[in-house]
Amino acid sequence: MSEVLLKLASRRSDDLQKIRKVADYQFGDGVGRNLFPDDVSVVFSKRTGRIRYIYLDGELLATLKPRDGLFSLGIGGAERLIKMEPKRMWVRVQEEAEASVGKGGDVFARHVVDFDEEIRPREEVVVLNEKNILVAVGKAVLSGDEMRDFSRGVAVRVRRGILEKVKKGNETIMGQ
Q: What is the domain extent for residue 46?
A: 2-80
pLDDT in tens, the chain (176 residues): 444 434 445 566 788 999 999 999 999 898 999 999 999 999 998 888 889 999 999 999 999 998 899 999 999 999 999 998 888 899 999 999 999 999 999 999 999 999 999 899 999 999 999 999 999 999 999 998 899 899 899 999 999 999 875 544 544 333 33
pLDDT at 105: 93
Among the residues of the chain, which ranges form H helices?
A: 2-27, 31-35, 75-82, 95-102, 144-149
Domains held by the chain: number: 2
CA gap 77, 74 in Å, rounded: 5
pTM of the model: 0.82
Report the CATH number that the domain containing residue 32 is assigned in CATH: 3.10.450.90
- Residue 149's CB is within 10 A of a number of other CB atoms, namely 10
Q: Domain check: are 101 and 60 in the same one?
A: no
Report the CATH number that the domain containing residue 120 is assigned in CATH: 2.30.130.10
Residue where a domain terminates, one of 80, 95, 119: 80
First to last CA, the chain: 18
Q: Domain check: are 101 and 76 in the same one?
A: no
CA gap 68, 27 in Å, rounded: 15
Residue where a domain terminates, one of 80, 108, 142: 80
pLDDT at 172: 38
Q: What is the CA radius of gyration of the chain?
A: 17
pLDDT at 163: 87
Residue where a domain terminates, one of 80, 112, 127: 80
SS3 content of the chain, % helix, strand, coil (to 5): 30, 30, 40
Q: Calculate the CA 173 to chain-centre distance.
A: 19
